[in-house]
Amino acid sequence: YTGKTGSELLSDQLKKLKVREHHSVPVVVNDKVSVYDAITTMFLEDVGTLFVVNESSLLVGVLSRKDLLRASMGNQDLSDIPVHIIMTRVPKIKICHKEDLLLDAANKLIENQIDALPVVIDREDGQEVVGRLTKTNVTKAFVDLVRDENV
Ligand code: ADP
């Protein structure tokens, strides 16, 4: 018997969870595509956040639902506006790595009031997007933790 309190045991369990086991597949668009095409991709892929990559598949931006809604409020033709005009860009983008604690990634989501983080691998010339960590991933991990305990 460890003599640990319930909340110590819970936090021990939480600190075992890594981004690696809980992230989703990333949905990416090229920085040359139009806002119209990004909206289409967001609907077809059924995600709330798109990651924008350059020719070398390196992360250059993030597009949220509100970014695309905001761009749609003017009278411009959305097929004529490239996403790189409206996206949130590097270096403002908050990222995580597969080996990070899920708890640390969750903290980044809360502190920055965002819905998703790109999971990246660091390259010499930038960051390659290999996953998408969302608030839903964190919620699911939380629910699974209790379910596993009842097995
Ligand atoms: P929504 O716009 O649907 O509320 P978010 O809360 O995720 O979605 O996005 C809010 C703002 O933060 C948007 O302008 C978006 O581009 C930006 N954003 C989203 N994810 C990130 C991220 N990982 N790093 C930096 N900025 C982000």
CATH of the domain at 112: 3.10.580.10
| Range of the structural domain that residue 50 is part of | 6-149
The C-alpha atoms of residue 78 and residue 25 are separated, in whole angstroms, by 27
- Answer yes or no: is 1 within a domain: no
Supply the residue whose CA is at minimum distance from atom 2 of ligand 1.
66
Considering the domain boundaries, does residue 43 fall inside one?
yes
Q: What is the residue-level pLDDT of the chain in tens, covering all 151 positions?
A: 678 898 898 889 899 999 999 999 999 999 999 999 999 999 999 999 999 999 999 999 999 999 999 999 988 899 999 999 999 999 999 999 999 999 999 999 999 999 999 999 999 999 999 999 999 999 999 999 888 776 5
Answer yes or no: is 63 within a domain: yes
Q: Which atom of ligand 1 is nearest to the CA of 63?
A: 16
Residue 116 lies in a domain: yes
Query: What pTM, to 2 d.p., does this model score?
Result: 0.94
Q: Is the CB of 50 under 6 A from ligand 1?
A: no
Q: How far does the centroid of ligand 1 lie from the alpha carbon of residue 60, in Å? A: 14
Q: Please report whether residue 112 resides in a domain.
A: yes
Q: Are 32 and 82 in contact (CB under 8 A)?
A: yes
| Ligand 1, atom 8, residue with closest C-alpha | 64
Q: Is 130 part of a structural domain of the chain?
A: yes
Q: What is the ipTM for the molecules in this complex?
A: 0.98
Structural domain includes residue 123: yes
The amino acid at residue 26 is P
Residue 131 lies in a domain: yes
Q: Are the beta carbons of 46 and 95 closer than 8 angstroms?
A: no
Q: Cα–Cα distance between 22 and 140 in angstroms, integer?
A: 8
How many structural domains are present in the chain? Answer: 1
* One-letter-per-residue 3-state SS of the chain: CCCCCHHHHHHHHHCCCEHHHCCECCCEEECCCEHHHHHHHHHHHCCCEEEEECCCCEEEEEEEHHHHHHHHCCCCCHHHCEHHHCCEECCCCCCECCCCEHHHHHHHHHHCCCCEEEEEEEECCEEEEEEEEEHHHHHHHHHHHHHHHCC
